[in-house]
Structure 1
Amino acid sequence: MASTSSLAIIPTANYDIFLSFRGEDTRHNFTDHLYETLTNAGIRTFRDNEDISRGDDLKPEIESAIKGSKGSIIVLSKNYATSTWCLDELWLILEQRSKFDHFVLPIFYDVDPSDVRNQDQTFKIEVKTSSKWTDDNVKRWREALTKVADLKGGILSGSEVDFLKKIVDDIYYKVARKIVNLPRNLIGMNARDEEINSWLEKTDIQVLAICGMGGSGKTTLADYIVSSNLQHFEITSVVKLGASGTCHKQDNMFELFEKFSEDLLRGRKGKVMRRYMIYRVLEMKKTLIVFDDIDDPSQLDLFLGTTKINERSKIIITTRKTNTHNWFSFRSWSCQEYTMPLLDNDESLKLLSLHAFELETPMRGYEELAKEVLEYCGGNPLALEVMGSSLKEVINIEFWRSTLDVLKGNMSFGIQCVLKRSYDSLPNKNNKELFLHIACFFVGEDKDYVEKILEHDYYALSGIKVLTNRCLLSVSPNNKVMMHQLIQEMGRSIVLQESNIPAKRSRVWLSSDSYKIMRKGEGSETMEGLVLDMQLLWNDRHESESSNLRTDSLTKMDNLKLLRLNEAHLIGSYRDVSQDLRWLCWRGFHLTTIPFGLFQGNLVAIDMRHSNLEVFEPPIVLQSLKTLNLQGSQSLSEIRNIYRLPSLETLILCHCYELVHFCESIGDLKNLSLLNMIGCKSLPRVVVSNRSLEASTSSGGNSQQTSFSLPHSLIWLSLRSCNLECTEYFPLSFKVQPKLQYLDLGGGWFESLPEYNHLENLRVLDLTSCRKLKWILCLPSALAELYVYFCYSLERITFESHQFTLQEFGYQGCIKLSEIEGFIKLVPIAKLDATDLGHMEWLKEYQNHVVSLVGDEELITIGRSKRIQMLYELGIMSTSLPDIRDPNITLEYISESQSLSFEVPPCPENKRLIGLNVGFRYTISGKEWTWFAKINTTNDVDYMYNPHLFGDPGAGNVGIWLSFWPIGSKLSIKDKVNVSIIVMSGVLEVQECGASLVYVDDDETLENNTQWDLSAFQLTTGAFYLCRRDLFMLMEVGRLTPGWLSILVGDNIDDTEVRGWRKTGRPYLLDPSLMEFSDPSLTELSYPSRRELQPSCRRVFQGLLSTKLSELSFTKSKQD
């Protein structure tokens, strides 16, 4: 392909926006306002200042700013075209647009776009005697003016404030949607996307499969397609399936699905009905989805299921396999294959030069050497990139020549040798050894975990940074160590070249080689790492081979540092095991106790998941041990002398079902921050006094007793499914664990919990499936996430303060939950006294009538009473009734439409105005309705309320909704009050609506008349959006139109003011790779991800006013 069709360097974006403008026209007015608005919105904006002296040519800082910006805004004012400086800026900006992904937004400030297009009025430019106004310059400037006039832009008219807001929204959208990070140097993308564009235009082919060898640029091409076509799709998601080399691991696939769901649901992290919502989005929205590095079509099932996708949607897959057409036949999708071509000579030379010299062509004197390099790279972009990066640091012809001499005669290993050059250039032996260990044993592992194991010997903390900078590895967003397969194979080939005999190599990762070594009793002092997976050997050979091998080989490996075994049964003594052992990973360990000599004093991590251990007792002090994982050791009944692990930070005991005795010295571990005991249901009693966890557990039979204390240092604690009981004598207090951020007590058998307001750092509390739990009192105000799914007995939740910051709240299946302080209270009329109802005493006559409630799916569960109920929410009291005819329901002001207006009259003598009653009669059909009751006045009062629950009268029947709003203090005589019912989605027909003013005697004292705080729901002065449901979720699946918020609140409200209430933070978690939950019942529940807890954007749930409904009987009058 011709290099002229290539994309050259895409500059690093230092700014989001470059501002081009004529200073004398707009610097001190419009452009100042625009610049301030952009920067206040967090958009990095460059504008030249008056200190930069102007001359005939653009200054380098201006050129760099244009090239280093993602886009430009051009303010075309009357005198813009009189400045050669401005015209040169315009020409360079449009050149950037034609070559790169640089967006341009023209603003026509007090000028007509046709004048710019036709070069009329002040935009008429001519050749002048001045040196800059030459024929060539004038010609290119005219072309630039014509082009910019044809671009979609903004014409300033009306309110400047509104205009600037729309500009910022448009720019922010363009900047924010750049979801892929393309390499700095892109070559040949324009030529390669010609076939892609034809596929995008086809409506009968849903899938594009980009096939080719590793390192050929499949991923880069897919990312480029996404970046170039974001504006044509409503939703975009890129799923990197094989990036870490561990795409089949369940935990990694779960993390990828989390990201996929966040992309489709626009960042929402709620858990209830998530998969259903994803499928709805796929059906309703025009989406572009990339599945990168897929090797098995079954991988798609996790993400797409069997759902249909929107007919306008497109899916791209990258794979090293061909013949992918039949992968999608059962879905009735068509697939177009595209074989990824390698770079031609021109493209290869340019890419190599950009990385080696930071030029598009080689430096003088290096042309022939560069061409020889190209022959060995064979057009592989990854090899060219790594080679160029390695050669960049030392520009010396002899250095290049020596590299070529190494490559000569090894054509079949050309790419491997090119990649090895980057390895050879590493600054020290530690970096090289670290690279080889990662290539052989740790690709796909958590970076922090790898650093702990390898830090002492290889300075892994700094070493990983060196390897990342040399393009030898990378770290994924979920903190996994990633390495391209070509580079991993290069590293392993280095080890293979050490010796033709596996036993004499430094590292053995092939189980077939390791088995032969162990069976023959071989081994050597050179051996530093070994992997033996007997399960893998059995699977490969389809037969169970005897795994009773001797330990003789281990005694010969004096320098062994890393040992990974799976289902290996060894016979013999462990007395002479290497003292340098850092990592012991022996899954399926076959002995019932730890033999002497197996644990050496330098161990940093022990992973003995699914072992047959009955007793765990470290025979010696392991001063360096930081991680111990005994997950799934189902015979383990006792842990002894854990004080011998003084540096332990992470302890995983989940699913150790028979664990009965736990060493009490765990409380002395001052560094233990993570303790996972999920499913340890046989612990009969956990009892200690002031300094520990105080609880009891019940296993259904005779129980023995033990005790242990929990250390003060705990940050993450899970006691899920431990059969915990909590009594007056054994409260779950956690009084001396002030650092706790995550606490999981799910599956407990306690009826109540102590107050947790002392846990000031607690961010996540999970009480899922605590079926006896009746109430949760005085939770800390800083709590960010609370999960009480399927707590069938739960009735009430309270917090220490109404000013709390709860952001994620899951309460599905809580069939008795009637009050969540500061959130909602739902009480059957039958449980209310006549005094509670005031003049609504007449409702008692209908207390046994049945009303089906709709709205909040989590509150509407099987088993909840369907009798008429009173809903208390945000101080508003409401109830839903069947179509009963009772004179007490008659409202004072009536309208047969969805809205009405009236003027507040003088207050009756000896009366006081306390609020407003609002009601309406309605019918509904279909399902999924969204509506708001809205009250506004001429006194700048504006309330919009969407109740969590309301009645569904059934098809063809009439329902009644009645409510009381305690806003009397906001109403004054002669205020005009407007009441309306706004239906946003679904078929809900309002037959009539009404309102009445509510008065009480001057001397009457109202019970519970607390001032309600709605500050977190205030949008502007006097305007309150009273809704806790995330209605943007409904917009994502087509139940609400994009303009629904503007209909409700106007165009002056930023929708982030509403979205912000659902943002979720997560506490920092150490070693997330160790958090493996094999219990299928746990996989759908999200556990803390690896990041700092972000500050809350809104205080979502505020104090609830339990106002007495004192008046709701009315006399009918005609509306004015």
Structure 2
Amino acid sequence: MAFQGASSSYSSTHRWNYDVFLSFRGEDTRDNFTAHLHQALLQKGINTFIDADQLRSGEEISPALLEAIEKSRISIIVFSQTYASSKWCLDELLKILECKETNGQMVMPLFYKLDPSDVRHQKNSFEEALAKHEERFKNDIKVQKWKTALTEVANLSGWPLGNGNEAKFIDKIVQTVSRIVNHIDLHVAKYPVGIDSRVHKVNSLLSIDKNDRRMVGILGPGGIGKTTIAKAIYNSIAFQFEGSCFLASVRETSKQYSDMVELQNTLLSKILRDTVKVDSVDHGISMIKERLCSKRVLIVLDDVDNQLFQLDKLVGEVDWFGLGSRIIITTRDNKVLTNHGVVDDRIYKVKELDYNEALGLLCWNAFKGKKPTDDFLKLMKHAISYAEGLPLAIEVLGSNLHGKDIHQWKKALDNYKRIPHRSIQERISYLPAEMPKRSKPRTRKGLRLACCLFCCWCSCSFFS
């Protein structure tokens, strides 16, 4: 079951005082469901805030309660029959959704013996409660805000209990929350400019709410940001799977067939959260199929090349894994994906940064976010034109020019055409054959600029 935070939550550096904030209607669930959920979370070592009665005084939410919401990584909202009758609960809801947008807080709506459509469309007890609020707060815009908030949160992927087993329901919630709080994010990027929109497009291909198995490809030349996008996606959705693994630099770590054993060991150990010993590649294949066939897993294979044995020995077929599993493959070569059966409508071809994104990224790297003067801005436009939207070229260029004066900028940009050192060029200047011909010179120019500036950055020859 999926639930959502802010779109940029994977890049957040927010620090939390609590793992979970519980929002609930005390009259309905304080002494039963919510009490049991609270206790189960605490027993799992999950730091959970539950409102004490003494914090509720007067008409407005106390500063202490507002701070508790702001400082919580996850908000669990327990919707019950009389939730909407409480002005306090509805104000908490507004604050929670505000924190979702501003802090990247995750929101988990639970529907306790309640149809989610009652919340979404304000029917039955919710309709009655809001009608009373409208009578009390005549022409008050806050009532409309409450209605909008109820619809918004009910449209998130939630957890309806119905008449099911409460103990099992609570156990599933605790397991999911535990995966979130124990998950350590991968470093994505110092300045994640332009990532959100690209992550959104890949997530639309993944459709993690669907209970099928999928392989999705992220395709593009070196330096365009495939790995950065894959890390951001991994951070934002890994907790929603029973097990997950991000295998970095597969191309570099599996140059020989024998290297696959180590990758298989890593894959199994990370997903199963236990040390696994694979004796041979064939043994590894059997173990992956046997141990993971019933698990909903997320696997990212980063930077895969055209050696087919890499994919065949790690994720040979999607039915090696349980329903709901997702496999993400990043590569520079479209044939890697098509040969492994990844259909074209599940391949995202990474686009270069547009002008505004490139300008933002260059500004962050060269000026650390400060506004440049008009003289620098003119040179930045030339630099962006040279880089052709390639993030790596822009990052290296900006880092190289950070702290330099206007004359040094001009000298550096005049020298960008210098032939780069071969070893640097080989690292990032691969172009996939399937790219349109008109794209090759543009991308090569950006790659060449990145190589040239990286070389000069190391040698400082531009400014000697």
- After TM superposition, the score normalised by the length of structure 1 is 0.30
| Alignment partner of 1:291 out of 293, 301, 305 | 301
2:107 paired with 1:104: yes
| Alignment partner of 2:229 out of 218, 221, 224 | 221
Shift of 1:300: 0.9
Contact kept? 1:247, 1:253, Cα under 8 Å: yes
| Alignment partner of 1:141 out of 137, 140, 146 | 146
Structure 2 CA distance for aligned equivalents of residues 488 and 58 of structure 1? 56
Percent identical among aligned pairs is: 32
Q: Secondary structure at the match of 1:257?
A: helix
Cα 1:88–1:252 shift into 2, 3 Å = farther
Contact kept? 1:234, 1:286, Cα under 8 Å: yes
Aligned to 1:71: 74
| Alignment partner of 1:37 out of 40, 47, 59 | 40
Cα 1:234–1:494 shift into 2, 3 Å = closer
Structure 2 CA distance for aligned equivalents of residues 291 and 404 of structure 1? 43
Structure 2 CA distance for aligned equivalents of residues 385 and 50 of structure 1? 52
Kindly provide the amino acid, as one letter, of the partner of residue 192 in structure 1. Answer: R
Shift of 1:240: 0.2
Shift of 1:241: 1.6
Aligned to 1:12: 14
2:211 paired with 1:211: no
Shift of 1:277: 1.2
| Alignment partner of 2:351 out of 341, 356, 361 | 341
CA displacement, residues 728-773 of structure 1 (integer Å, 9 cap, x when unaligned): xxxxxxxxxxxxxxxxxxxxxxxxxxxxxxxxxxxxxxxxxxxxxx
Task: Work out which structure has the larger RCO, using CA pairs closer than 8 Å and 6 or more positions apart in sequence.
Answer: 2
Cα 1:134–1:343 shift into 2, 3 Å = farther
CA displacement, residues 21-51 of structure 1 (integer Å, 9 cap, x when unaligned): 3567766776555333312212233445678
Q: Secondary structure at the match of 2:217?
A: strand
Aligned to 2:440: none
Q: Secondary structure at the match of 1:317?
A: strand
Unaligned regions of 5+ residues in structure 2, if any? 1-5, 428-447
Cα 1:41–1:346 shift into 2, 3 Å = same
Shift of 1:408: 2.4
Aligned to 2:269: 262
Structure 1 CA distance for aligned equivalents of residues 451 and 261 of structure 2? 25
Q: Bigger radius of gyration, 1 or 2?
A: 1
Q: Secondary structure at the match of 1:104?
A: strand
Unaligned regions of 5+ residues in structure 1, if any? 392-398, 417-438, 444-484, 500-504, 506-1120
Structure 1 CA distance for aligned equivalents of residues 454 and 153 of structure 2? 52
Q: Secondary structure at the match of 2:45?
A: coil
2:197 paired with 1:191: yes
Aligned pair count reads: 411
CA displacement, residues 663-689 of structure 1 (integer Å, 9 cap, x when unaligned): xxxxxxxxxxxxxxxxxxxxxxxxxxx
Contact kept? 1:71, 1:104, Cα under 8 Å: yes
2:122 paired with 1:120: no
Cα 1:71–1:212 shift into 2, 3 Å = farther
Contact kept? 1:115, 1:121, Cα under 8 Å: no
Cα 1:338–1:21 shift into 2, 3 Å = closer
1:871-910 counterparts in 2 under 5 A?
A: none
Shift of 1:73: 0.5
Kindly provide the amino acid, as one letter, of the partner of residue 171 in structure 1. Answer: V
Structure 1 CA distance for aligned equivalents of residues 417 and 198 of structure 2? 23
| Alignment partner of 1:238 out of 242, 246, 255 | 246
Contact kept? 2:7, 2:104, Cα under 8 Å: no
Shift of 1:128: 6.8
Kindly provide the amino acid, as one letter, of the partner of residue 126 in structure 1. Answer: H
Shift of 1:89: 2.9
Cα 1:292–1:200 shift into 2, 3 Å = same
Contact kept? 2:299, 2:327, Cα under 8 Å: yes
2:159 paired with 1:153: yes
Structure 1 CA distance for aligned equivalents of residues 59 and 392 of structure 2? 43
Kindly provide the amino acid, as one letter, of the partner of residue 267 in structure 1. Answer: D
Structure 2 CA distance for aligned equivalents of residues 383 and 58 of structure 1? 49
Kindly provide the amino acid, as one letter, of the partner of residue 75 in structure 2. Answer: S
| Alignment partner of 2:319 out of 310, 319, 325 | 310
More helix by share: 2
Cα 1:212–1:49 shift into 2, 3 Å = farther
Contact kept? 1:211, 1:218, Cα under 8 Å: yes
Q: Alignment RMSD, CA only?
A: 5.4
1:583-622 counterparts in 2 under 5 A?
A: none
Structure 1 CA distance for aligned equivalents of residues 269 and 399 of structure 2? 35
Kindly provide the amino acid, as one letter, of the partner of residue 318 in structure 1. Answer: T
Cα 1:211–1:89 shift into 2, 3 Å = same
- After TM superposition, the score normalised by the length of structure 2 is 0.64
Contact kept? 1:349, 1:370, Cα under 8 Å: no
Shift of 1:142: 0.6
Shift of 1:339: 3.4
Shift of 1:207: 5.2
Contact kept? 1:101, 1:228, Cα under 8 Å: no
Shift of 1:325: 1.7
Structure 1 CA distance for aligned equivalents of residues 378 and 95 of structure 2? 36
CA displacement, residues 368-409 of structure 1 (integer Å, 9 cap, x when unaligned): 578558533644545767888999xxxxxxx86x44542224
Aligned to 1:300: 310
Contact kept? 2:78, 2:109, Cα under 8 Å: yes
Kindly provide the amino acid, as one letter, of the partner of residue 16 in structure 1. Answer: D
Q: Secondary structure at the match of 2:319?
A: coil
Q: Secondary structure at the match of 1:17?
A: strand
Structure 1 CA distance for aligned equivalents of residues 245 and 170 of structure 2? 30
More strand by share: 1
Kindly provide the amino acid, as one letter, of the partner of residue 408 in structure 1. Answer: K
Kindly provide the amino acid, as one letter, of the partner of residue 217 in structure 2. Answer: L
Structure 2 CA distance for aligned equivalents of residues 61 and 344 of structure 1? 43
Cα 1:256–1:412 shift into 2, 3 Å = farther
Shift of 1:308: 3.9
